[in-house]
Structure 1
Amino acid sequence: MGRAAEILVPARLGTGFRWLIASSWSTNLGDGIATAAGPLLLASLTHDPFLISLAAMLRWAPPLVFGLYAGVLADRHDRRRVVIAANLARVAVLAVLTVTLATGTISVAGALVALGLLATAEVFADNTVTTLTPMLVHRDDLALANSRLQTGLLTLDQLIGPSIGAALFAAGVGWPFAAELVLVTAGVLLVSKVVLPSHGRSTGRSRGDVRRDIAEGFRWVRHNPAVRTLVLTIMIFNVTFGAAWSVLVLYATERLGLGAIGFGALTTVMALGGLVGTGIYGPLTRRVSLGNVMRAGLILETLTHLALALTTSAPVALLIFFVFGAHAFIWHTTSITIRQRAVPAHLQGRVTSVNTIGLYGGLVVGSAIGGTLATHYGVTAPFWFAFAGSAVFVLLLWRETSRIAHTDDAQHNDSPIK
C-alpha cells in the first residue's frame, strides 16, 4: 500500500497535499454521484421539459454569477477555511434534501432550490481549492500534482460516480444524496488536516470595495501576456466546443445512429482517454515544453471538430472521442499549471475566477450558437462552425501562444511549505 501511495502521490508533494487530494477525491466522487442523481430526481418529480432544463441552467449559472466574488473571497480570507465553509454549506443542503426525500415531502421547487444551492457552494469550494495546490507543492511539481488531482476528477467524478449515482437512485431516491452527504463530510474532515503557510491562512488585505478587487484581477490578467493568452484561448475554444457539444445527443442519435447506451458510451470513452492522458502526462511534459503541449492541443481540438463533422461511423467517432479525452485532460492540467506558476499568491483566487468566467461564458455563448445552427442547417453545422472558428483562432494566436512557453520566467509564487 505504501509503495502504491508513493507512486500515485509521491512523498515529495508533501503531507498537506496528500490531505488535499484525499479531500478532493472524496468530494469528486460525491459530485459524480450527483451528476446522475440530480437529473434523475427532477425527471421523477416532473415531466415538464422547461423545469428539467431549468435544472441544467442552475448548474451552469452559479459560476457566471458568483465566480468573481468567489475569487475575491479566496484572496481575502484563510483559503482552507473558505473551502471548509463552502463544503459545510453543501453538507447542510444535502442533509435537508436527504430528509425531505426520506419523508416524501420533496417538491419540484424544493429540488430545484437544493440543486442551485449545491452548485453555488461548489463554485466557492472549487475556485478556492485551485489556489491551495501552489501553496503546498513546489512549483516544479505543480504539473504532477495537478495531473493527480485531475485523475480523481476523471475517474471518480466523470467515470465511476455517475454509474454509482444511477444505481443508488434505482435502489431509492434518497440514497445517492445520502452518499454524497457522507463523501462531502469526509472531504471537510480531510481538508481540515491541511496546514497552510502564513500567506494562505490570512492575506491581511483590506475589506474594501469588492469591485476594486475584481478589477485588480482583470487588470493583472490583461497585463500578463501568458495568462491573458490562456484566458482568451479558453474562452474562444469553449465557444467552439460549446457549439458542437450542445447538440451532441442529437449528433449521436441522428448522425451516428446510437441509442441511449451508445450516447453514454461517448462520455465513458472520453473519460477512458483521459485516463490514458494521465499516464502519458508526466513523460510528455518532461520532453515537451508546456507551451508546445498547448499548441499541439489546439491543433488536435480543431481537427477533432473536422473529423466529427465528416464521419458517420460510430466506431470512428468513438476513437475520436477517446483521443479527445486524452487531449482534454492534458490541456486542462497544463492550463492550471501554467496559471499557478505565473500568478502571485495573493491574486490566485481572482485570476482563477476570471478564467472561470471565460470558461463558462464561452460555453454558454457556444451552446446558443450551436442550437441555432443545428436548427437551421442540420446537426453537423455546429461541428463545421467549431472547426472553422478554431482554425481561424489558431492562426491568429499562434505567435501569442509562444508566450506561454516562457511562463517559468514570470514572477514566482511565494514559496510553499514542504
Structure 2
Amino acid sequence: MGGAFWRFWSVELATETGIGLAVIALQTMVVLDLGGGATEVGWLSSARWLPYMVLGLLVGAIVEGLRRRTVMIVSDLVRALVLGGLAVVWLAGGGALWVLLLAVVLLGTASLVNDAASQAFVPRLVGRERLLPAHQRLDAGSNAAQSAGPAVSGAVIAWLGAPISLLLAAGAHLVSSIVLWTLPRDEASRKRSHGLGRSILHGLRFVHRHPRLGPFARWTHVWFLCNGAAMTLLVPLVLIELDAGPAGLGLALGVLGATTLAGTALAGLVADRLGNARTIILERAVMPFAWGAVALAGLLPLPALGGLALALAGLAVLGVVMGLSNPNEMTLRQRATPDRMQARMNATMRTVNRAMIVVAAPLAGLLGDAIGFGVALAVVCAGFAVAAVGIAASPLARGRTAR
C-alpha cells in the first residue's frame, strides 16, 4: 500500500484510540458522576452528532476546496484541546451536564471537519483499484483501537477516574496531528466554480439520484436511526440494568470492537463471493437478531453474569457482520463517486446519518426510562428488521453492484 498509506493508517489508529478512550469516559461521567440515566445518555449522544446535522453539508462543501491534510491536522489539535480542557475543568470541580454537553458539541464539530477531510483523502492515497483492501486495513486498525480503547478506559476510570481517560484521549489526538505532518502534501486549494449553496445542492442531488448510492443512502439512514437508539440504550442497560459498572461497559464495547475487527479481516473474502451490495444486505439481515439477544439480556430474569454473557454474545455477532459490511460500504460509495465529489458525497451521507442519531438518541433515552431498557431495545429491533427488508427489496440488491 505504500509508506504514506501506513502513516495515514497509524493516524487513524491514534484517532480511534482517542475516541475509544473518550466515549466511555464521557458516558461514565454522565451516569456515575452526574447521576444521569438513559435520557441524559441520549442527550450526550445527540450533542455529539448535532454538528453533523447542522453543519455537515456546509463543511463538506468547504473542505472540498481546502488542503485535506491541513484540515486533518488542525481538527486533531482542536480535539486534543477540547478533551484536555474538559478533563482539567472536571478535575477542578467544575463538572456539570451543560459543561459536558458544550464540550461534546465542540468535539463533534472538530470530528465532523476531520471526517470530511480524511475520508476524501483515502482515494487520492491509494487509487480506486485498492479501495477495498485499503478500507479493510483502515477498519481493522479502527476496530482494534475501538476494542482496546474502551477496555483500557474502563480500567483507567476504575483506577484513576474519567478525567484521566480524557487526558489520554487528548494525547492520542496530539500524536495523530504530529504524524499527519509527515504525509505528502495534497493539492493546493482550487477555486470553487459556484457558490456554497449550489455545491451543497449538487452533492445532495448526486447522492440521492444516483442509481446505486440513492437506495443505499436511504435505507442506511433508517439503519442509523435504529443504531443510534440501540447504542444509547446499551449504556444504561449495562451500567444500571446489568449492574456491570464501567469495567463491564468497557468489556461490552471492547467485545464489539474486537469482533468487528474479525469481521473486517473476512470482508474481502466475503465480498469476492457475494459482491459489495449483498455483503451489506447480509449485515442488515443479521442486525435485528444480534440486537435482539442484547435486548433479551435486559428482559429475562437472568443472574448478573448470565445477562452480561448474553449481551456480549449479541454484541459479538453484531461486531462480525458490521466488520464485514463497513469496508464494502465505503468501497461502494467511493467507487461510485468522482474525486471532485468525494467530500460532498461523504458529507451528504454522514450529515443525514448523524441527524438520525441526533433524533433517535434522546427519544430512545426517554423511551428506555419510561418502559425499560430491554423493552425499548426490542422495539428498536423491529426498526432494524424494516431497514433490512427495505434494502433487500431495493434496486441495489438486483443491480450489477450486487455481484
2:282 maps to 1:296: yes
Once the 2 structures are TM-superposed, how far is the Cα of residue 354 of structure 1 from its aligned partner?
Answer: 1.4
Conserved? CA contact 1:64–1:357, under 8 Å: yes
Percent of aligned pairs sharing the same letter: 24
CA distance in 2, matches of 1:52, 1:193: 38
Which moved further from structure 2: 392-401 or 274-283? 392-401
CA distance in 2, matches of 1:274, 1:281: 10
Aligned to 1:271: 257
Pick the structure with greater CA Rg: 1
Aligned to 1:19: 7
User: Which of residues 361, 383, 393 in structure 2 aligns to 1:389?
Assistant: 383
User: Which of residues 244, 250, 253 in structure 2 aligns to 1:259?
Assistant: 244
Q: How many residues align?
A: 390
Once the 2 structures are TM-superposed, how far is the Cα of residue 17 of structure 1 from its aligned partner?
Answer: 1.2
Aligned to 2:25: 37
1:340-392 CA-partner distances (Å, limit 9, x unpaired): 11111111111111111222222334345545655666544444434433434
Note the residue ranges of structure 1 that are not aligned, 5 or more in a row: 1-12, 409-418
CA distance in 2, matches of 1:301, 1:289: 19
Once the 2 structures are TM-superposed, how far is the Cα of residue 295 of structure 1 from its aligned partner?
Answer: 1.7
Q: Match for 2:210: what amino acid?
A: N
Conserved? CA contact 1:243–1:370, under 8 Å: yes
Conserved? CA contact 1:291–1:401, under 8 Å: yes
TM-score after normalising by structure 1:
0.80
Q: The residue matched to 1:225 in structure 2 has which SS?
A: coil
CA distance in 2, matches of 1:55, 1:192: 32
CA distance 1:371–1:48, shift in 2 (3 Å): closer
Conserved? CA contact 1:24–1:149, under 8 Å: yes
CA distance in 1, matches of 2:394, 2:349: 21
CA distance in 2, matches of 1:95, 1:372: 31
TM-score after normalising by structure 2:
0.83
CA distance in 2, matches of 1:305, 1:172: 30
Q: The residue matched to 2:212 in structure 1 has which SS?
A: helix
2:75 maps to 1:81: no
CA distance in 1, matches of 2:248, 2:83: 32
Aligned to 2:396: 401
Q: Match for 2:142: what amino acid?
A: L
CA distance in 1, matches of 2:163, 2:380: 40
Q: Match for 1:203: what amino acid?
A: R
2:115 maps to 1:145: no
CA distance in 1, matches of 2:295, 2:162: 39
Aligned to 1:283: 269
1:242-264 CA-partner distances (Å, limit 9, x unpaired): 34443335655898x56335555
Aligned to 2:203: 217
User: Which of residues 316, 324, 330 in structure 2 aligns to 1:336?
Assistant: 330
CA distance in 2, matches of 1:95, 1:263: 23
Q: Match for 2:280: what amino acid?
A: M
CA distance in 2, matches of 1:55, 1:379: 17
Once the 2 structures are TM-superposed, how far is the Cα of residue 177 of structure 1 from its aligned partner?
Answer: 3.8
Aligned to 2:342: 348
CA distance in 2, matches of 1:285, 1:141: 14
CA distance in 1, matches of 2:385, 2:87: 48
CA distance in 1, matches of 2:294, 2:133: 31
Conserved? CA contact 2:260–2:322, under 8 Å: yes
Once the 2 structures are TM-superposed, how far is the Cα of residue 45 of structure 1 from its aligned partner?
Answer: 6.8
CA distance in 1, matches of 2:161, 2:237: 32
Conserved? CA contact 1:271–1:325, under 8 Å: yes
- Calculate the aligned-residue CA RMSD, in Å: 3.3
Conserved? CA contact 1:338–1:404, under 8 Å: no
Which moved further from structure 2: 185-194 or 377-386? 377-386
1:214-248 CA-partner distances (Å, limit 9, x unpaired): 11110101221211122112111222333444333
CA distance in 2, matches of 1:301, 1:96: 37
Q: The residue matched to 1:246 in structure 2 has which SS?
A: helix
1:126-168 CA-partner distances (Å, limit 9, x unpaired): 2211111111112222111112211222221x22223333444
